[in-house]
């Protein structure tokens, strides 16, 4: 069954802006919570995880960029990027997860 968010997260009303992502349980530093964005060609696609995380100058998460290429097969070449959400410190139950935005102006 499709789950748009990791099991540790829920949506909730944010003091930062409208709706945000919140921890349903404690989450350890360095946890990879999954893909937030995908870049195919010049288009950036936001996942549900990336769509609800709010900006904060002192963010508790970061986007880790992963690049995928296939240059060995001359018949099938592809290149794309994806970004995963990684916790920078331990997150407490009920705490909002935040990022320092890099794709959008605040």
- Provide the CATH number for the domain around residue 16: 2.170.270.10
Range of the domain at 93: 9-99
Average pLDDT of the chain is 89
Q: Which pLDDT score is estimated for 25?
A: 98
The pairing of strands 78-87 and 96-99 is unpaired
Residues 44/97, Cβ–Cβ less than 8 Å: no
Q: Which pLDDT score is estimated for 72?
A: 66
Residue 5 CB coordination number (10 Å): 16
Decide if pLDDT at 63 tops 90: yes
The domain tally of the chain equals 1
Residue 52 CB coordination number (10 Å): 22
Q: Which pLDDT score is estimated for 80?
A: 84
Mean pLDDT in residue range 41-58: 92
Instruction: Specify the higher pLDDT residue, 96 or 4.
Output: 96
Confidence of residue 77 (pLDDT cuts 50, 70, 90): low
């Amino acid at each position: 069954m499709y789950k748009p968010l990791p099991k540790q997260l829920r949506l909730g009303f944010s003091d930062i802006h409208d709706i945000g992502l919140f921890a349903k349980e404690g989450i350890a530093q360095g946890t990879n919570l999954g893909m937030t964005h995908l870049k195919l060609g010049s288009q950036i696609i936001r996942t549900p995880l990336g769509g609800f995380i709010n900006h904060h100058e002192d963010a508790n998460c970061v986007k880790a960029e992963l690049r995928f290429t296939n240059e060995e097969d001359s018949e099938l070449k592809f290149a794309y990027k994806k970004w995963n959400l990684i916790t920078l410190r331990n997150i407490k139950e009920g705490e909002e997860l935040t990022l320092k935005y890099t794709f959008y102006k605040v």
